[in-house]
Structure 1
Amino acid sequence: MKKWFIFVMCSFILLASIGNSPSKLPFGEPPADLKNVVDSNSAFALKLYSKLKAGNGNLFLSPYSISSALATVYAGARGNCERQISTALNFPDDQDKFHSAMLKIHQKLVEIDTRKGIELNVANGLWLQKGYEFNNSFLDLVNKNYDCFAAQVDFKTTYESEREKINSWIERQTKQKIRNALPAGILSSVTRLVILNAIYFKGDWANCFDKKNTVQESFLSSSGNSVIVPLMHQENVFRYGEQDNLQILELPYIGYDLSMLILLPVEQKDLTELEEKLNYDNLARWIKSLGDRTVEIHFPRFAIDYQISLKQSLSTLGMSDAFSATDADFTGMTLKQPLFMDAVEHSALIEVDEQGTVAAASSSVSFGCTAIIPPPLAKFRADHPFFFLIRDNHTGTILFLGRVVDPTN
């Protein structure tokens, strides 16, 4: 009888405020040895979003957290199962180079955690059935490239107690923001392995909003109904662009290592047209169009608490063998009893206000001279649905992404 394993991705991000110039933003392509993996992970992020967008309401997740946990799974996959995971997640075929690049991305995020005013914690964990024979080569690879916390546990007789311990570990890694990530009933006596990733981010806006300027105003939700929400306001120099009937605004966090990118349809309508255009090539083109501009911003306070099972979405993306008791091939993990994936769970939370952002589960130089007329003030009024993401400006890694269709929901 095949045994199964579960993995969970969690994310938390907390961000607040200070001030500086957009020209300090790091630009350009990610380092050459990381570009392929960053591009692939970003493409997967938007491909997964395209599967989830059909649902109603707000949406928020951490693609980086999901990719990190699934990268550990990829390390143990073989044969057609390995090929399916590679295709579905846009992972490169060369596993050695891929895992090495993921390590370098992780190390760059750890460097950001040392900056003043920033907290960024990424943690990976393995819970392994005591006495079950896992390949040393697999354990060595994930320890080397993902710095995995590993615990030998007894799922056979105390799986419910182990579930509570795992949830406690997630709570500690996310500063108590993600709770009960593994619901009761998800583990059983035949569980043999649980793989987890947790991410926590706390930082300040580079330019905070003054609470005195926040006003209760109307927001046209995707349902066509107007709801009253607190719209924050400020006028400052930001990286801003207009492309394809979109306004694109970048709100950096202190230190300019990370920023929130907001895509707002020019017309007051839902996100259908934007979401149809949303792919990696278009996103890269929109980001490249940004330049320094004085912008008058009206942006809502909002909060999203999002949980989802990703088993169906990942299967439809093409990695169905991994979930099959007869077709899964994880002989890279163990040569004992065959394993197959039973569940993929994701929890993410975000709160945005004048001081910054709380989320759980991520430059140009201008020369002036006389007689040049500055461009007119740009007005960015997010009083209707928008898409947003939080990215590492050094590598382009998408840490979090989501949409807001109703800030009151």
Structure 2
Amino acid sequence: MGDFDIDNNLGSDPASDIIQDIISGARRLKIVCETLEAGLFDEIETFRGPVSSADVATKCHFSLDVTERLFNTLVCLKLLEKITSTDGDVGYKNSTATTRYLLCSKRPSMIACCLSEAAMVLPALDNLAAVLKGGTSETIAQQMVKGEQNNNTKGSDNANANPPNTVNTNPPNTANTNPPNTANANPPSTMITNNDKQMMFMLAMEGMAATCAPAIARAFDLSGNKTAADLGGASGCIAFELSRTYPNMCLTVFELPHVAKLAKKLQPEDTRNKVQIVGGDFFKDSLPPADLYIIAHVIHNWDIEKTDILLSKVYRGLPPGGSLLLLEKTLNEDKDGPWPCISMDVVMAMISKGRERTPSEYQKLLKKHGFSNTQFKSIEGCNYYDAILAKKPF
């Protein structure tokens, strides 16, 4: 076998690398979504160790050639690991990232994050040209929250195809470390209909929060707070983590009634005596009493008028000395990064009248409503959360 000589004078135009990486990003997501659709990660897990591409292809009635090429692609994406035995046999197993976040048999999962990005977020960006001309609208965001969004967010009556179907809409209450039943050759998935989009949206929110929930719980010392209410807390992921970190804290997840109904089905057993899930509308109904209110990934959804209504209501509801834990990814002060936040800012322009903000903008916003002693903690890594703690003065 010949070796390639490295010549640093040979290469494509470095300026094109940025564009090529953007193009390949869409390709990476599509490959992952289709792999989830085929149930391949769960199939690999059933073998309880490295498995050859031939064994998986035989079991699933796949093309051996395509299976092997896909497996090597997933190795490059660091979603599979390739292991070569001393005899030269090649086997594959799920990587740590896949085992932790891309198996239907486990929660929390990022499967819904992947699928909702493809089925909801990317189609919303089809509106970019129209929004550039006409400005923002909150219609799509309202539809997404209600689970009513059509796949084609431009509203075409002909766009009625279902999104990908590899979301387990009845997952276990706690992470199941056992692999799926090996006797079941079908992917462990549940067909998503339009009525199930709310579940996919909620599980996507859970997947986004779960990766940094432990960091959020440790960002500030909240041991002085005895009662907390997570307003718009989706499945309750952050509240559940807080209940484990602060066992003496009584928590409430306050969500729209149809969301609360779904969240109760997903609630882990170890939190049922610590966290209650209550249905209600934080714009219309009285807030649960608490000395700590949590608002995570919510403020960025709304225009300034509704943001002011919510923050004023929270301030009035807190006792003197109470706290607000605001969880949003913050823009840098130049408003050109970081990428998760700046890209979300464009998405919010497509689906709502909301926006992302800088730390100074959040500080000004909170001060306007009477909050003081605002503190910021960055949650490092690729995620959609930073932590902001503000106090109601005594």
Relative contact order (alpha carbons < 8 A, sep ≥ 6): 1 or 2 greater? 1
Q: Which has the higher helix share?
A: 2
Q: Which has the higher strand share?
A: 1
Classify the TM-score, shorter chain: under 0.3
Question: Greater CA radius of gyration, 1 or 2?
Answer: 2
